[in-house]
Structure 1
Amino acid sequence: MATMLVMLEDLAERLYRESHWPVTGTATSGTTTTLVDTAGLVYSSGDANQFDRKYAYIEFSTGESSRVTEGGYAGGTGTLTLSPAVTDIGTEKYIITDQHIDVLKNAINRIQRNLFLETFYPLSLHIMGNDANDMEPSTTATDYGGTATRALESTIIFNGAQSLKVTAGAANEYASAGAISVNEGETYYAAVMCSVNSGDDADFFIYDVTNATTINNATTDEVAWMELIVPFTVPSGCEEISTRMASVANGDITYWENFQVWSSGRRVYPLPSWITRPEQLLDVRSFAQGTGGPGDNDYRSNETRSRPLSYGFESVDRRGTSPLHIWVDNTSARPFIYALRPLDELSADTSNSVAESDFIVRFAEKLVREPDKASETMALLRAIHFQRVTTELPNRIGVSMR
C-alpha cells in the first residue's frame, strides 16, 4: 500500500520532470529559510533564477509548503532560499513543484474517493452512525456508547483493517450499539464476531431498555474468533432494546466485529450510506452457523460457504442517511451484502491507500494536466467500475454473480 507522500512524489516526477530537476530529493542541511541539498541541487553553472517562485514542500511529520524566492538558487552550494519561513530544515525529504502541493493532493483524493473496491458488510435492520457495523470507520470507538473503555484495534482482527477493543474497568462493562426500536412479540436475531484475550470472558446480551432486563445472551471465552448469534422475541411492553458487548471481569479485554440485527422471512433493510447507486450492490449472501462452541449461543466461524439470497431494490430517497433500501428473503443465517465501497480520502501524508498507486497517479496526472476535461476524466474512471463486464471474486468466498 502506498502513502499519500509516495504518490505525491510519483505524481510530481511525472508532472514536472521536464520543467526542472531535481523534482524530489533529500536535504543535507538548511535553516528556516534555506534548503540545502549538496547531492541533488549542486550545479556550478546553475542559473540563479532557475527555481524562481516554484513551490517547495518539506516532508516534516506534518508537511510544510514554501516558495523559492526570485534569484533564490545558489548552484555552487546547492541552496534554495525560501519564503515564507518553515520549521528548521535538517535532512527532510522535499518536493519541488510548479503548483501548490494542495493541487496535487486534491487530485489524488478526488481519484481516491471515486475508486470502488469489493467488500462484505453485515446487512442489518439497525445501521450504526458512520456505518460502523463493520467496525471499520475511524470513529468506531465513539460511534458505540457504553460503560467500558473503547478503542480501535488494528492487529487482532477478523476481517478488514480493525476491530473494536473493549476493556472493562469494572465487572460487566460494555460497548453498546444504542437504543433500537422494535415491535412487541416479533422475533429477531442479533449477531457479532468476538475474540478475547486468553483467560478473559465476553458476554453479548440483548437488553430490554423499556423494562430494564436482559432478554437473551451469548458468551465466549475463546481467543479464536467466534460468531455470537442471539435469537430473541421482543417481550410484552418492550419498545426499545440495546445490544451490549461486555467484557465480564474487571480488566478483561474483548474484541468485536460485524454487528447486525435481522429477522427471518422477507424484510426491508437499509443499506449503508456509502451505497448511493444500485450498481454498487453486487450480491446478498448468507452465512450459515458453524458448529457450536463451548459457550452459550456461540459458533465456530468459517465452517460453511455462503449462499445467495433473493433480494431486490425497494425504495430510494437521496435525502436520507441511507439512500437505498432493499428487500431480502432470509432465514436465521447471517446476511451480508457484497458491494463496491468507495475509498476514503487520505487525510494525512502518511495515510495509506489500498488501491493500486500507479492507477491513482495516472488519473491524478490527467486531472492536473487537463483541468478543463475533469468531468470526462471522472466519467471514464467511474465507467471502469460500473460498466465492466466482469468483477473480481472476493477473497473470503466464491461468489456467483447474479
Structure 2
Amino acid sequence: MATIQLGIIMNGVTGRMGTNQHLIRSIVAIRKQGGVALANGDVIMPDPILVGRQESKLRALAEAHGIERWSTNLDECLQDSYNQVYFDSQTTVLRAESIKKAIAAGKHIYCEKPTADSLEGSLELARLAREAGVKNGVVQDKLFLPGLIKLKRLVDSGFFGRILSVRLEFGYWVFEGDWQTCQRPSWNYRKEDGGGIIVDMFAHWRYVLDNLFGEVQSVSCLGVTHVPQRVDEQGKPYDCTADDAAYATFVLDGGIVVQANSSWTTRVNRDELVTIHVDGMNGSAVAGLRECKTQHRVNTPKPVWNPDIPNPFNFLEQWEQVPDNQVFDNGFKIQWELFLKHIVTDSEFRWDLLEGAKGTQLAELGLQSWHERRWIDIPELKI
C-alpha cells in the first residue's frame, strides 16, 4: 500500500465557507480519517498550503488544524512543483485571474462558483483548462446533500411518473447589521463587488435542476433589492446595490415548470432553509437539506374547498419519510474525495469548469430577463 501525497494550494480559506466546509469539514477531515482509500489499496493524502493576504489569520488557522504550510505569496506556491492542485474560494471578482495563473502554471483546478463574474470569463477558464490539459472541477455541493440524494433516488426509480412541476423555496432573514450582526459579508449586497442573490444562487439552481430533473431551457426572473441600506463589518452604513431576492420561473427539458424563490429577506416557516417540492402524475415529494418525504397517488387524500368549516385534514401528517438507508457524509467532503480520485486515477468527474459556466450563464440571463422584463431562452454552451 502506497501513500500518495498531493500538494494542494488552498486560496481564500480564511472566509466562512472556505474555513468551515472546504478546510475543516473536507480536507482536515480527510486527513484525520487517514486519506482517501483507492481500490488498489493506495491512499491519497492531501497536503494543503493555506494561501491568503493576512499572515496572522493564516498562521492561526494552520496552527489550529495541524497544518504545517501557509503562505501570503501565491506566485511562489504556483512555482512549487510539489503543489499539483489549485483550489479557489475567494470572492467572485478575484477568482478568475488567480485560476488563470494556476492554469498557466500547469495546476489542476478545483474552485467554488460562480467561476467568474461573467459568462465570457467562465468560458475562458474552461477553454484555457482544456487547452492546457489540466483536470478541473467546480464545487456543486448541493447534489451531495442527504435530502437531494434521496430525491434523486426517487427520480431514478420512476416514483413520480411524468414530472409536472417543481417549487423551490430558499432563504432566510439576513439581519441588516444595525441592531443584529449580519450573517453574511457585506460584499454580498454590493453589485460592484460581485454580490447579489441571483449571481450567488442561480449557479446552484442550474446544477440542481440540470442533474435532477432536466436541463434548463428558459428563464423569467424578477430581482429586487428589498433592503436598500445595511451596516458593514466596521459598523458603517452602506447602500445596497445588488439584489437580495429573486423570483424566477424556469422551464426545463420535457416541459417541467419550476418556480424558484430565493431571498435573504424572508422569515422561515418551513422545515428547512431550502425545500424542493416536486409534483408528478404518480406521486409528489418534498426534499430539504437532510430529509425527504413523499405522497404517492394511492395515498393522496381528497380535500374539498370549504372555508365555512374548520380544516378536517392535517396535511403535514399525510406524508411518509424516505429512509436514510445509508450513512451520509458531508457533501463538500464527498465531492473533494471524488475530485482527488479523479486527479490520481482519472476516474469520472462530470462537474468541470464548463458545467460551472452554465451557472454563470443562468445568472446572467436571469439578470437580463429581469432588466428587459421578458422570457430568455438558454442557448447551449460550447468551447
TM-score by length of 2: 0.30
Which structure features the higher share of helix residues? 2
**Higher fraction of strand:** 1
Of the two structures, which has the highest relative contact order with CA contacts closer than 8 Å and spacing of 6 or more? 2
Larger Rg: 1
